[in-house]
Amino acid sequence: MKLNNPFGLSLLCATSGMTVAGPLSGSSRAVAAPGGRMNIVYIMCDDHSFQTISAYGHPLSRLAPTPNIDRLARRGIRFDRAYVENSLSTPSRACLMTGLYSHQNGQTMLTNRMDTTVTFIPQLMQQAGYQTAMIGKWHMLCEPRGFDTYSILSGQGEYYNPRFKSEATGGRYVREEGYATDLITRKALDFLRQRDRNRPFLLYVHHKAPHRPWLPPLEYLDLYEDVEFPMPATFYDDYTSRGPAAAEQRMRIDEHMAMIYDLKLYGYEGSGHECDVSQLWRAALQTMTPEERAQWLENYERKNAPFMQQQENMTHDEVVRWKYQRYIKDYLRVIRRVDDSVGQLLDYLEAEGLMDSTMIVYTSDQGFYMGEHGWFDKRFMYEESFRTPLIISYPGCRGGSESDVMVQNLDFGPTFLDIARKEQPADMYGRSLMPVLRKNGRRPRGWRKQLYYHFYDHTAEHNVMRHDGLSDRRYKLIHFYDERGERPAYDEFYDLKQDPHELHNLADDPRYSRKIARFRKELQRTRESIGVREY
Ligand code: SGN
Ligand code: CA
């Protein structure tokens, strides 16, 4: 069935694949892509916030810069309005792999199963003559499809000496020695070195980092130890004016972050969080070698000592501030290694003369809260988790450009197909980013004006109510609903220009009633035209 496209997009193939005629700049060793079609290196982290990439200029990242991701931004375009359609790992990955919304591919939640009959983008890319590789976190319940070669982590993946499965291991996960980010980088470089040079390639590099519980590499355990990171202005949000979802979540740093599992306070005996009680923290350290674990424990015991000695005299707020610093430091230590990895990949591509024939994408499977509203984790349609970092460099683009065009993870599939000069299937609502890239990030005529979002996984950890919504460049309507009928449905409405931190819900403000009515109608029209049935 051909569905109406609510965003006024052409659903037929926009065969505008970028032709790479040859060297465009720089390197003396520039190598043209085989067949004149660009290679693609797609780097995706797990839970990397835009707040912790210095190219985005947030106060946190100024104290912990990411020079290599910034180096990519200097060569490419930084997207400031890049969003996901469902802010959770598995659904985001299913969207990337299929080019379809969650309700279309069936992967609405973390652990349900997607529709196995759906075609994967890499399968289409193979048909178009690309060699395809998938390295790192896969995190879907189905087997990888459409890859010439793959090496994937088991489930959420492990930081230390993780298990990987590849064609070579006969379907078994086999433990490998090293730190996840380093191993993934090495495997990606191995693929590049061993690739068939007569075909263009599509390489997915999917890091486990910086997913919870934020285990840094040993070399970086003391990085930033003396730095005091600023807390966000909304840290002490009390959720007044918002509906019950914002208050009832279980992702607050002060209440739900586990002292041992998340914050590494080994030996802490205060009242535990469920993660501490479940001994999950032991499992997190289990894959280290005895030497690594000894070094790890020695390091944290040393850093924990002042807190352990003073905690009885500390106020609740002092403890919360301590927690915040520990959380942010470990997260940023993990990120620092990701930044090293980006540097190694860029070094290789530059040295091999591949920059002139390769698109490089850096992004995350969703955004993440660095204490905004008092939270860690993601899921909500509020900006920090709805948004995701996105930097793209491609041959010939004007480096250092910034874009405020609204793009979504639904667009990656169509972009890759466009580059491969392969027709975009009619049920993909995303849009090739090539017209935006060719304009160095400026808005092409007829580009979408609004984005649809839908989060389903209410029953899972962190207790975020189901919701869907519509956002344009200025306003956002969020509809919270509960399929179990425990809570009445309700809406929130934000003016992002007046209230960028989304602290003032305007749903009941009579001054906005006409605008809200228009948004509600538009949301309903969107659901119907893309075939959403639950809301
Ligand atoms: C795990 C984490 C959650 C996290 C989900 C989803 N808990 O369940 O904190 O929200 O993954 O993350 S943990 O105790 O196992 O660390 S996602 O990135 O895969 O969507
Ligand atoms: Ca994630």
| Inside any domain, residue 192 | yes
Residue finishing a domain among 445, 463, 498: 445
Q: Which of 421, 445, 469 is the last residue of a domain?
A: 445
CA of 414 to the centre of ligand 2 (A): 22
What pLDDT digit, counting tens, does each position of 42-74 carry? 999 999 999 999 999 999 999 999 999 999 999
Report residue 54 as tokens: 């210095």
Share of the chain above pLDDT 90, in %: 87
Q: Report whether 369 contacts 377 (CB < 8 A).
A: yes
Has residue 15 got a pLDDT over 60? no
Per-residue tokens: 417: 């197909």
Substitution candidate for ligand 1 out of 138, 380, 461, 463 with most atoms within 8 A of CB: 461
Assess whether pLDDT exceeds 90 at residue 182: yes
- Domain assignment present for residue 240? The answer is no
Q: Say yes or no to pLDDT of 335 above 70.
A: yes
Does residue 88 sit in the same domain as residue 159?
A: yes
- The answer to whether residue 407 is domain-embedded is yes
139 and 111 in a common domain: yes
Half-sphere exposure of 143 (CA within 13 A, CB side): 11
Q: Look at residue 1 in the predicted model and tell me its pLDDT.
A: 32
Asked whether residue 164 falls in the same domain as residue 183, the answer is: yes
Which domain covers residue 524, as residue numbers?
452-530
CA of 343 relative to ligand 1 center, distance in Å: 27
Same domain, 80 and 173: yes
Question: Are 522 and 429 part of one and the same domain?
Answer: no
Distance between CA 453 and CA 459 in Å, rounded?
A: 18
499: domain CATH number is: 3.30.1120.10
Residues facing residue 88 across a β-bridge: none
**The residue type at 94:** A
Same domain for 482 and 396, yes or no, is no
Least confident residue range of 1-15, 111-125, 155-169, 436-450? 1-15
For 387-413, the pLDDT digits (tens) are 999 999 999 999 999 999 999 999 999
Q: Which of 87, 156, 285, 464 to mutate to test the pocket of ligand 1 (most atoms within 8 A of CB)?
A: 156
Question: Same structural domain for residues 346 and 399?
Answer: yes
Of the two residues 273 and 149, the one the predictor is more confident about is 149
Q: Domain holding 345: CATH number? A: 3.40.720.10
- Residue with the nearest Cα to atom 5 of ligand 1? 461
The residue nearest atom 19 of ligand 1, judged by CA position, is 89
H helix runs in 134-211, sequence order: 180-194
pLDDT category, 371, cuts 50, 70, 90?
A: very high
Q: Does 416 lie in the same domain as 393? A: yes
- Look at residue 4 and tell me whether its pLDDT is greater than 70: no
Say yes or no: 158 and 193 in one domain: yes
**Widest pairwise Cα distance in the chain:** 69
84 and 42 in one domain? yes
pLDDT of 7: 36
For the chain, the domain total comes to 2
Residue 23 in domain: no
What contacts 463, CB < 8 A, 6 or more positions away?
A: 248, 249, 250
Which mutation among 212, 259, 457 tests ligand 1's pocket best, with the greatest number of atoms within 8 A of CB? 212
CA distance 332 to 60: 9
Ligand 1 pocket, residue 47 CB under 6 Å: yes
- pLDDT band for position 460 (cuts 50, 70, 90): confident
Which tokens sit at 60? 């946190």
Find the 47 Cα to ligand 2 centroid distance in Å.
Answer: 4
Q: Are 479 and 350 contained in the same domain? A: no
508 within a domain of the structure (yes/no): yes
Q: Which atom of ligand 1 is nearest to the CA of 280?
A: 14
DSSP 8-state secondary structure symbol assigned to residue 288: S
- The verdict on residue 239 lying in a domain is no
Amino acid at 509: D
Report yes or no on 76 lying in a domain.
yes
Lowest-confidence pick of 21-30, 152-161, 222-231, 252-261:
21-30
Q: Which atom from ligand 1 is nearest to the alpha carbon of 139? A: 19
Give a yes or no: residue 462 inside a domain: yes
Predicted confidence at residue 459, as pLDDT, reads 75
Would you state the pLDDT for residue 29?
A: 64
Q: Tell whether 434 and 466 lie within a shared domain.
A: no
Atom nearest to 251 CA in ligand 1: 9
pLDDT range class, residue 31, cuts 50, 70, 90:
confident
pTM above 0.85, yes or no: yes
Q: What's the average model confidence in pLDDT over 79-107?
A: 98
Contacts (Cβ under 8 Å, ≥6 apart) of 366: 47, 84, 87, 88, 89, 92, 378, 385, 386, 388
- Residue ending a domain, among 419, 445, 471, is 445
Residues in Cβ contact with 105 at an 8 Å cutoff, skipping those fewer than 6 apart: 94, 95, 98, 114, 115, 118
Q: What is the pLDDT of residues 345-359, one digit of tens each?
A: 999 999 999 999 999
pLDDT in tens, 224-268: 999 999 999 999 999 999 999 999 999 999 999 999 999 999 989
Residues of the chain with pLDDT > 70: what percent?
A: 95
Q: Is the pLDDT of residue 414 over 50?
A: yes
Spatial neighbors of 222 by CB under 8 A, at least 6 apart, are 299, 303
